[in-house]
Chain A
Amino acid sequence: MADKILTKHFGLENLFRIDVYLKNEGYAAAKKALSVMKPDEILEEVKAANLRGRGGAGFPAGVKWGFVPKDIEKPKYLCVNADEGEPGTFKDRYIMNHNPHLLIEGIIISSYCVGINTAFIYIRGEYEAVALRLEEAISEAYDKGFLGENMLGTGFKLDVFVHRGAGAYICGEETALLESLEGKRGNPRLKPPFPASVGLFGCPTVINNVETISNIPSIILNGAAWFCQAGLPKDGGTRIFGVSGMVKKPGIFELPVGTNLKKIINEHAGGMVEGKKLKAVIPGGMSAPILTAEEIDINMDFDSLVEAKSMLGSAAIIVIDQDTSMLDVLKRVTKFYSHESCGQCTPCRIGNSWINKIVKRIADGGGKKEDLDKIIQLANSMLGKTLCPLGDAAAMPILSIIQKFRDELESYIPLGN
């Protein structure tokens, strides 16, 4: 069983160069897929691996690919979601920077499987240096015949382009990403139709996160059974956990799906910074409901976190210490969502800015007794009432912070107000 799949070769010098990648099993999976496997066999293998989406929603990748209509005249597209905007998340940057060819190889196999001839990597605009690295790697792959016309002599053709976003959290939402790729504002689309049938330029489109696609080569090379040895039966493989906040060793840690959160924080991330005590943890990016210090003895997989009324999301762990005021955390969280709401749906546009104004007023000493209930009411009026998940992504952490830290938050409201 492999304990590391994606970061296994990270220590190698110049791994981002195709020559080094090739010397370390690089493109062996793509060769196997294109020369000896049929697309249907690849699809079955990916389904059997129970590879769930690493971007946040956790939808099984194989099932998603299966939704794409087979006999259709229109071109099909692959969009790799490299927008990585969920606060606390930085794992995809590591994959693309250290091992860009792993992502490209995953793109090749995925595209061959679904019958796609054009793939776009939609990367957040701030990652300019990473985008350049990807473009260099893509150019190397063309030169070696892994991309372009008649790839590896099989007659299959694939073009890959890097497309930079320009600073909008909402574009990590898959339909906003499509709008953005089409040159428009990132306003999410109504679903259905789902992108698998009507996506980019109205054509069938697969959208997967960087980490999801980067797992494909190892599944094809070693088989689904091997992949499932790490992780859980319904949730296979590893996750790249990103730990930030008040820990001694913040960073990325690739560990089996289901690794205990307490262990990740205390052993892998070195525990709390000297003199600091744990207060709370956000386990899956800012949108995930917060856990108290007492709740962190939990396995980091989709189902365990749903059971704990939180979510695994992008597996981005933010560690908060006792000296941090939860009002400050709430202020930060609400400022972010009020800034990033695209403005299309009224509950999210008005709700988030209204909540942020109330929290700021409390922080400035003008809190009123009814404020917290008002925030709860506003958050509940966003939950499930917007086109895209941003409304929920904002409401969930806000509600959980108030529910779990109500006494502390009330202590910031002057008596008699």
Chain B
Amino acid sequence: MSPELTDRTKKKIEEIASRYASKEAALLPVLHLVQREVGFISQQEEKQVAHLLDIKPIKVEEVVTFYTMYNQEATGKYHIQVCSNLSCSLLGAELLIDHLKDKLGIGVGETTADKKFTLTTVECLGACEQAPCIMINFDYFGNLDKEKIDNILDNLE
């Protein structure tokens, strides 16, 4: 069970909802906010958000399952998303993925036992000039090779 949302978050949700002609329109930004606070969106969060925005929980679940950025389960402290689209593939994204799998000892879609890293692939991140590129949480890293990845990861606490 995840905790109740804080009063501060609830207030922020009210503020966001006031921007739109319908409260439901605030759903995507509100889910981002909740995920930032809780780490993921489980059915518990879906219900809370539904209540705050006066919509049915199924409406929230429809959205959570449609968009790839909402996690329904906890991820590691650092969520590594490797772009595997065309420009990054041309410049060695597959090699990076293999290297990360070896280094972290997990497969794509998995989290390390110490809950530090989650590894996933992602469609085009919009940073093709820096191919191959990855996103760790919300930070972009580009022009990568094995050595640079090692450096970045070794500096994460």
Contacts and interface: CB of A to CB of B under 8 A. Distances in A.
Interface of A: 75, 84-90, 93, 124-129, 159, 161, 163-169, 180-186, 200-201, 203, 242-246, 250-252, 282, 286, 316, 318, 320-321, 324, 328-329, 332-333, 336, 339-340, 342
Contact of A93 (B24, B91, B126, B138): B126
7 contacts: A87-B123, A88-B86, A245-B91, A316-B128, A318-B128, A332-B86, A332-B89
A165 B28 contact: yes
A318 B86 CA distance: 8
Interface string B47-75: 00000010100010011001111100000
A183 B90 contact: no
Interface of B: 19-22, 24-29, 31-32, 53, 55, 59, 62-63, 66-70, 84-87, 89-91, 122-131, 135, 138-140
A148 to B, nearest CB: 14
Nearest to B19: A161
B124 A87 contact: yes
Contacts of B123: 85, 87, 169, 336, 339-340
Nearest to A247: B129
A243 B130 CA distance: 10
Give the residue among A87, A168, A320 with the most B Cβ atoms within 10 A.
A87
Give the residue among B20, B53, B70, B127 with the most A Cβ atoms within 10 A.
B20
Contacts of B124: 85-89, 169, 286, 336
A316 B86 CA distance: 12
Nearest to B139: A129
Nearest to A331: B89
A184 B67 contact: no
A354 B32 CA distance: 33
Contacts of B129: 90, 242-244, 250-252
A182 B24 contact: yes
A182 B62 CA distance: 13
B22 to A, nearest CB: 6
Nearest to A94: B129
Per CB-CB distance, the 9 closest pairs between chain A and chain B, nearest first, are: A183-B27, A244-B128, A166-B67, A167-B68, A167-B69, A244-B87, A87-B124, A185-B66, A183-B24
A286 to B, nearest CB: 6
Contact of A126 (B53, B62, B125, B131): B125
Contacts of B20: 201
A152 B70 CA distance: 41
B136 to A, nearest CB: 12
B127 A333 contact: no
Contacts of B66: 168, 185-186, 342
A250 B22 contact: no
A87 B24 contact: no
Give the residue among A125, A126, A200 with the most B Cβ atoms within 10 A.
A126
A164 B29 contact: yes
Contacts of A244: 87, 128-129, 131
Nearest to B16: A161
Given A166-B28, A242-B128, A88 B87 contact: yes
Give the residue among A243, A316, A332, A342 with the most B Cβ atoms within 10 A.
A332
Nearest to A273: B91
Contacts of A165: 28, 67
Given A185-B66, A336-B85, A250 B131 contact: yes
A332 B85 CA distance: 7
B128 A250 contact: yes
Contact of A182 (B25, B85, B125): B25
B87 A183 contact: no
B42 to A, nearest CB: 16
Contacts of A318: 86-87, 90, 128
Nearest to B24: A183
A289 to B, nearest CB: 14
A85 B124 CA distance: 7
Nearest to B127: A90
A89 B126 contact: yes
A304 B125 CA distance: 29
Contact of A87 (B22, B55, B62, B87): B87
Contacts of A129: 138-140
A180 B28 contact: yes
A271 B156 CA distance: 36
A128 B138 contact: yes
Give the residue among B59, B89, B90 with the most A Cβ atoms within 10 A.
B90
